[in-house]
Amino acid sequence: MLRQIPVLLLATVFGGASCATSVRAQERAIDTARSTLKIRVFKSGIFSAFAHDHEIKAPIAEGTVRLSADPRVSLQIHAGDLRVLDPELSPGKREEVQKTMQGPEVLDTKRFSDISFQSNTIHKKDDQHWLVRGDLTLHGQTAPVEVEVEQKDGHYQGSAKLRQRAFGITPVAVAGGTVKVKDEVKIEFDIALK
């Protein structure tokens, strides 16, 4: 009987290792070179006709998707890597918007260098559609976010809306508040896996 104990222990350890390997095999890295994430910020206010909506590129630094009976998604973005695209703005104006976005008024990238998302639940609607609920950490604060996801041509695509104030960010206002940024912003993504 004593000789069987080491055999049982080895079987348990290697059996557990094989299960862990199986879980890791189902976990795939996000292909950051082929994935995109954009943030759309919209104008409001009495003189909003004289302002611009903003399109911001947010490169994904890293992330993983676990494809299993217990699916999970996590990703990270370096806040300092966000770039204002706004092709209709002059380079000088674009740089001004960039500095405001990264400065203490908005993202405060010197204090809050990372943006991250971690799923809590993923509800499969059908073979191509999911509802993902998770926590987004932005500007040093975490709030729940709900995302509709569709698989199309091997990519996971979708969008979510969030309010800046939920993360302690006061939307930018200029000209005495006659031109301002809406509190609600839209996030759009197209994620490919390795």
Domains, the chain, ordered by start:
27-191 (2.40.128.110)
Secondary structure of 87-113 as H, E, C letters: CCCCHHHHHHHHHHHHCCCCCCCCCCC
Mean of the pLDDT values across residues 185-192? 96
| Mean pLDDT over each residue of the chain, to the nearest integer | 83
- Say yes or no to pLDDT of 99 above 50: yes
Answer yes or no: is pLDDT of 105 > 80. yes
Residue 9 has pLDDT above 70, yes or no: no
Q: Rounded CA gap, 135 and 96, in Å?
A: 30
27 sits in which H/E element: strand 27-29
Q: What is the pLDDT of residue 44?
A: 63
Is the full-model pTM beyond 0.85?
A: no
Residue 133, pLDDT > 60, answer yes
For 29-63, how does the pLDDT look when each residue is reduced to its tens digit (9 = 90+)? Answer: 999 999 999 999 887 644 344 457 889 999 999 99
- pLDDT average, residue stretch 96-115: 93
pLDDT digits (tens, 9 = 90+) for 143-181: 999 999 999 999 999 999 999 999 999 888 764 443 567
Coil, helix or strand at residue 81: helix
What's phi and psi for 22, nearest 5 deg?
Answer: -65, -40
**pLDDT in the model for residue 51:** 55
Q: How far apart are CA 169 and CA 138, in angstroms?
A: 9
